[in-house]
Chains A and B, each alone.
Chain A
Amino acid sequence: GNSVTQMEGPVTLSEEAFLTINCTYTATGYPSLFWYVQYPGEGLQLLLKATKADDKGSNKGFEATYRKETTSFHLEKGSVQVSDSAVYFCALREYGNKLVFGAGTILRVKS
């Protein structure tokens, strides 16, 4: 079946550091890909998405590019803030709009 693999966390960075969270997927065809973010005590929020190869999703300074040749959708941000501390989930879409999530990566940003 389809699956998503994310780098294990926690990832701990200082404020203004560069962030990369790796995400690779296994799927039949070319599914839409997503990054969701979960702040403490809250539900998940859609951060960005890409629906086809070479698409770049971006939002709030975060970016991810759909790379079909490497089946990857790595999340990047040039300068993280303390307020970015959260759990980040990579996901792909299956039939019926079912989302298959990765295990989540905890990001901690220190001031």
Chain B
Amino acid sequence: DTAVSQTPKYLVTQMGNDKSIKCEQNLGHDTMYWYKQDSKKFLKIMFSYNNKELIINETVPNRFSPKSPDKAHLNLHINSLELGDSAVYFCASSQGTSDYYGYTFGSGTRLTVV
């Protein structure tokens, strides 16, 4: 099936650990995003890559580092996890930076830091 797939779906980890979330899309899109959804459902963009180039880098702690090995993949690495990092992280993709097609979202990774 064509989709945006994220792994893992659930991640429970201790404070101070380092973890990664992977995202892959097979839609042929060239732009990918990471969004964070907090416990109140509020969504905020973190990063965006277009053809492996970082184009949006919002004010997030530098413990968060995105990596795009190719335009079909955008991974998120988080160092020294903190309790406040607990959230649902969504990956999304779009064709270019045009809004004509909107975003396609993955189903999310629920990160719980204990």
Contact = CB atoms under 8 A, between A and B. Distances in A.
A103 interface: yes
Interface in B32-73: 40-45, 48, 50, 55-56
Contacts, number: 59
Nearest to A101: B43
Contacts of B102: 34, 46, 49
A93 interface: yes
A42 B4 CA distance: 12
B41 A104 contact: yes
A87 interface: yes
Interface string A59-84: 00000000000000000000000000
Chain A interface residue number, banded: 20 to 34
A42 B102 CA distance: 17
Contact of A44 (B40, B50, B90, B97): B90
Contacts of B98: 97
Given A32-B99, A99-B103, A101-B42, 19 more contacts: A34-B102, A36-B103, A41-B107, A42-B107, A42-B108, A43-B107, A43-B108, A44-B105, A46-B104, A93-B99, A96-B55, A96-B56, A97-B31, A97-B48, A97-B98, A98-B45, A100-B45, A104-B42, A106-B41
Interface of A: 32, 34, 36, 38, 41-46, 49, 51, 87, 89, 93, 96-101, 103-104, 106
